[in-house]
Amino acid sequence: MPDLQRWINRIAPAGRRRWLVIVPVLAVAGLSLLPFAFPLPSQLRSAPSQSIVITDRNGLVLDNMARPDYFRHEPVSLAEVPPALIDATLVAEDKRFFSHSG
């Protein structure tokens, strides 16, 4: 019986190490296959709704109600940009901002 106990004690650490590798590998493999086993509901697979643009009868935009997760990107001319914003950009950039291509 002492020989059996000694043999188990000698084998056990190697077995534990093996299981410490096998179990996480199987867990990662199982988690990576989870999306294939349970696909997303159709509501989540559809494209997000667009923002609502309210116009008058002549097509003039009165309001643009954007989704909460949507950032508005409306192009403006350089004349419409406040001088303080231009100065702040130049401070963040370098002194030769307007004289080189980037």
Residue 14's H or E segment, with its range, is helix 2-37
What pLDDT score does 56 carry? 92
Alpha-carbon radius of gyration of the chain: 32
pTM for this structure? 0.33
Alpha-carbon span 83 to 91, nearest angstrom: 12
What pLDDT score does 58 carry? 92
Alpha-carbon span 33 to 31, nearest angstrom: 5
What pLDDT score does 65 carry? 77
Three-class secondary structure of residue 76 per DSSP: coil
What pLDDT score does 102 carry? 64
Residue 34 identity (one-letter amino acid):
L
Q: Please give the average pLDDT of every successive group of 10 residues along the chain, which has 102 residues.
A: 70 71 89 86 71 87 75 81 88 75 69
